[in-house]
Structure 1
Amino acid sequence: MHTQILDILGGPKAFKQNVDSFLSFIEITETGFPIAVAQLVQKRLNLSNKQFSNMLSLSESTFQRRIKNKSSLSTGESEKVVDLSKIIAKGQDVFENDDDFKTWLNSPVLALGNKKPLDLLGSSIGREEILNVLFRIEHGIFS
């Protein structure tokens, strides 16, 4: 498990159990992340509740109710948050600056069919392709 991803998710103290291996991380994901972990990722991406709940395939009212009740995410929702954290981590590596990364997320990218990466974060295929483009940028391959 990459420590950078764990840090983006709030570090070991964000979870109610020890996260010392990828197996314990899988267990936490299956149990469901605390909503506060999702909110950290939401904040890092600078997303509204509506945008973020759409990425998790939730209604905004359900997302807000979970925040109010301090509920946990489902396994699938937690996995989406992990995917988003991987993109944040790779974006930080590539751009070395949160502002530059956020600008890139909000700008049309030729390699993504002139779509904004932010608009593709809601699907697993979109998240995977965003990671692929970030890897290509990192390695100097024209994207």
Structure 2
Amino acid sequence: MDKRLGKSRTEFRRDGTTKRHVCFIITRLIENKLSFGRGARAKPALDPCQMADNFRHMPEVSLLTFPYHDNLQVAEFVRRGVPARSLAGLAEALKLSVAGLSTTVKIPRRTLERRLAENADLKLDEAERAIRVARLLARATEVFEDRDEAAAWFSEPLNELGGKTPLECCALEAGAREVEQTLGRIEHGVFS
């Protein structure tokens, strides 16, 4: 019996919240292992698609920590199915409601609510748009070196984007490319 928690060791391991926390920590450790000491473009030791399958009960973490530099692995990740509930973690990281993010991913609010209730996967095009936003959030976090600052930047209208917010531009591939170029200019200190 674990006296600190008042539970037996078996109950402690079967507790959903505890498993979620442990998986989150493991995911962060894997993420740190992938990003440090091996170079930014080095091939990860673990297959990210297998890693995502291992954390299927916690997809928001895998969607936010997926290594987006390998397009073939991203395609495989989308093909295997991205759960609709993964949008919750992405919306939280962007400081938005899930309904607010649904407009960018182009899923009607009621359809998204139904998919969340049924624990269904996103369609391929919806998953690609969600991953596009997550990839650009990861890039913005890399540029600003702070996820909160990156999330705030996503909500600010920018002159470089015709007065639109980066999040609005992410709805289309051409707009997402423009957001990525803007991040590159910010990173290299080029002012428009």
Unaligned 5+ segments in structure 2 are: 1-30, 36-50, 58-65
1:92 aligns with 2:141: yes
Within 5 Å, give how 1:1-143 maps onto structure 2. 12=52, 13-15=54-56, 23-143=72-192
- 1:46 is displaced (CA, Å) by 1.8
CA contact (8 A) 2:93 2:151 kept: no
Unaligned 5+ segments in structure 1 are: 5-10
Give a deviation string over 1:92-126, Cα, whole Å, max 9, x none: 11111122222222222121122222222222222
CA contact (8 A) 1:136 1:142 kept: yes
- 1:22 is displaced (CA, Å) by 5.5
CA distance in 2, matches of 1:133, 1:59: 29
Return the structure number with greater relative CO, CA threshold 8 A, min gap 6. Answer: 1
SS at match of 2:163: coil
CA contact (8 A) 2:137 2:151 kept: no
Q: Which has the larger radius of gyration?
A: 2
SS at match of 1:72: coil
Amino acid at match of 1:85: A
Give a deviation string over 1:46-71, Cα, whole Å, max 9, x none: 22232211112111000011111110
CA distance in 2, matches of 1:24, 1:116: 29
SS at match of 2:167: helix
SS at match of 1:71: coil
Normalising by the residue count of structure 1, what TM-score does the alignment of the two structures yield?
0.79
Q: How many residues align?
A: 134
- 1:24 is displaced (CA, Å) by 4.8
Segment of structure 1 superposing worse, 67-76 or 117-126? 117-126
